[in-house]
Amino acid sequence: MYEFVRGPLVWIAFVGFFGGLAYQFITMARLAKKDRVVFPTFNAKYGLRSLLHWVIPFAGVNMRMRPVFTLLSYAFHFCVLVTPLFLMGHAVLWQESWGIRWWSLPDGVADTMSLVVIFACIFFIIRRLVRPEVRNVSYPSDFLIALLVMAPFVTGYAAHQQWLPYKPMIIIHGFSGALWLLAIPWTRLVHMLWFAFTRAYMGSEFGAVRHSRDW
Amino acid sequence: MADLQDIQVIDRGVDENIAKLTPERIERTINRVLTQESAARLEVYMQTCVHCGLCAESCQSYVSRNGDPDYAPVAKVKDTLWEMVKRKGKVDGEFLHNAARIAFIDCGACRRCSMYCPFGIDISYLIMTVRRIFNLLGVVPQYLQDTTNSHAVTFNQMWVQQDDWIDTLMWQEEDAQAELAGTRIPLDKIGAEIMYSVIGPEPKILAQLIANMAIIFKVAGADWTMPSGDGWDNSNMAMYSGDFETMGRVERLHWERAMQLKVKRVVMGECGHAYRGAVYDGPRWLGWTKPPIPMVHAVEYYYDLLKSGRLKIARKIEEPVTVQDPCNIVRGRGLHDKLRYVVNAICEDFRDMDPRYEHNYCCQAGGGLINCGPPWKLSRMKSNKVKAEQIAETGAHTVITPCHNCHSGIEDIIGHYKLGCHVSFISEMLVKTIEMPEA
């Protein structure tokens, strides 16, 4: 089983992840042509201007209105992207399998970053339950998605700490990670792909067409 | 929980027409709009929204109703479009009754929420898609549908006949001449520099605004004209009732009239949605990327006249004033700085609202809301308590509203919340303050 997780499953996850994103992207490009206003409206300068204002913490009014959420959300997104890519354990696997060497995070830092992801997911779940405006628009799938994102970090952290037998834990970690990657193109996690496009489109509408600001 | 009084409002245009629908027609219509009339934007927005609720506080109705979650922008999409998609168009009359109220009354399509959504999801576009579905179902608030019918039949919003139109212009010309000798309202002057267009309610109920503008043009020495035939009305309620075919016809005629008169630009009166219709929604529907000749909003025109010295202020207004930022010319054109330049030029004591510029709250009257008429007035008032508080905080005696919808909406708010101030268009203040030439 470990060999499966270590080998084919990784391939399945990556092919599924990149293939899914590519499929979504191509489908959407075709739909964007059908939606007559999309391409004529896109504007690089104003699209980037908007993106910039929404990737810099506290550059937008809404971010300044809720500092705790903003900080946590930025920390979460940073850690959720960076930790799996630069974790020492993963770096070893990259090198062993494909001979790719790259920079990796010190263990302690990676541990903290995993905890940030886990804590943020718990916070998001509690926020969904507690805030009426969020609870009102929350479906079971929203909670499942948060748990799905949390799962590889919980299992990875638990495996690293060796709280439970290492091998079974790593197998579960592998499966949860694969499931997470495979789910991204087909769930609301696809905002990872669309964020730049929706933002750039709105930035173009506000900047190039309407001569105003959208942050 | 949505307001019980709002839920119980019976609007003949909505409820009597829902009663006539069959489940097959509802399903067919919804799916037609979702699959044939919408594409990438709808699809991406539906996939991307993570249900985070960060848009909630952007909406004046949510804030005014003490954080009732049903009034958050995302909830308005959930209770309309998400359900239609989820149930694949198989929705019933009760659902439609509720969804029509949300789409036509609870959202002013002001786009403030797009500036609060981290993804920049165009929530107002999603609500407009719902309105499109309702239009194709023949379910539109009665008063709003009446204005759309008027557009379809007469090419203006208020059933104004051509003889009435010309008569009104002649009457206003005489009135203007009483103020400033030699003032004219030139009709159909081919090759004039400017075509001036107004919205239907001006000749119908606010005719003096046309005389004001004639005086301003006279003082500025402008070369201008107005059309005597259809196409003079730049307003477009069909845009908000979801009747995009009629919207397109109205905008096409407006621009055709300007082209026939061979003018260099169209200057329009103080209205917001008319700007949106003429510059964005109309041209886009017609397949143009932009209008054939430039459209200049009154605020921009006043700014140019004051800045270049073609209009000079003789005496400033002393009482305290504040200004409403109309969505379609501020969030929709970035005119907030020019607006403040004009206001400061005319008034001694200008007190800005907070929040302001693109972040100013909506009037809860534009986007076709006030055109839905008396059955919905109380709902509009409840949804804009925050505007009343905003105005009261400034301590202003006059709220300057360079948009007809803002003007009427804020007038209602002032009355309902007994704020004791009044509203004014800029042209009304300009004719009182500018230096008039010696007769």
On whether residue A7 sits in a domain, the answer given is no
- Residue contact A61–B116, C-beta within 8 A: yes
- Residue contact A137–B121, C-beta within 8 A: no
**Each residue of A112-156: pLDDT tens digit?**
999 999 999 999 999 999 999 999 999 999 999 999 999 999 999
* Chain B residues in contact with A138 (beta carbon < 8 A): 51
Amino acid at B59: C
On whether residue A2 sits in a domain, the answer given is no
On whether residue A53 sits in a domain, the answer given is no
Model pLDDT, residue B156: 97
On whether residue A172 sits in a domain, the answer given is yes
Spatial distance between the Cα atoms of B336 and B329, rounded to a whole number of angstroms = 8
Is the bond preceding B355 in cis, omega lying within 30 degrees of 0?
yes
Model pLDDT, residue B439: 56
CB–CB of B400/B410 below 8 Å? no
* Chain A residues in contact with B39 (beta carbon < 8 A): 31-32, 34-35, 38
- Residue contact B119–A28, C-beta within 8 A: no
Query: Which are the contacts of B244, defined by CB distance < 8 A and separation ≥ 6?
Result: B132, B135, B238, B285
Per-residue pLDDT, averaged over A52-78, amounts to 96
Q: What is the DSSP string of chain A?
A: -HHHHHTHHHHHHHHHHHHHHHHHHHHHHHHHHHSTTHHHH--HHHHHHHHHHHHSTT-SHHHHH-HHHHHHHHHHHHHHHHHHHH-HHHHHHHHHHH--------HHHHHHHHHHHHHHHHHHHHHHHH-HHHHTT--HHHHHHHHHHHHHHHHHHHHHHTSS-HHHHHHHHHHHHHHHHHHGGGSGGGHHHHHHHHHHHHHHIIIIIT-----
Nearest CA in chain A to B332: A210
28-87 in chain B: CB under 8 A from chain A: 38-45, 47-54, 56-58, 62, 67, 69-70, 72, 74-75, 78
DSSP type of residue B198 = B
pLDDT at B161 over 80: yes
Q: Which domain holds residue A137?
A: 65-189
CA–centroid distance for B156 within its chain:
15
**Predicted confidence band at B2 (pLDDT cuts at 50, 70, 90)?**
confident
On whether residue A142 sits in a domain, the answer given is yes
Number of domains in chain A: 1
On whether residue A123 sits in a domain, the answer given is yes
Domains of chain B: 4-140 (1.10.1060), 153-305 (no CATH), 313-433 (3.40.50)
On whether residue A208 sits in a domain, the answer given is no
**Each residue of A177-196: pLDDT tens digit?**
999 999 999 999 999 999 99
Mutation target to probe the A interface, by most A beta carbons within 10 A, among B42, B86, B119 is B119
What does pLDDT average to over chain B?
97
For the record, the structure tokens of B300 come out as 């921009």
**Each residue of B370-415: pLDDT tens digit?**
999 999 999 999 999 999 999 999 999 999 999 999 999 999 999 9
On whether residue A18 sits in a domain, the answer given is no
Q: What is the DSSP string of B367-384?
A: TTTGGG-GGGHHHHHHTT
- Residue contact A35–B114, C-beta within 8 A: no
pTM confidence score = 0.96
Chains A and B form CB pairs within 8 A to the count of 134
* Chain B residues in contact with A191 (beta carbon < 8 A): 47-48, 50, 119
- This complex has an ipTM of 0.94
* Chain B residues in contact with A139 (beta carbon < 8 A): 51
**What's the gap in Å between the CA of B331 and the closest CA on chain A?**
6
**Predicted confidence band at A99 (pLDDT cuts at 50, 70, 90)?**
confident
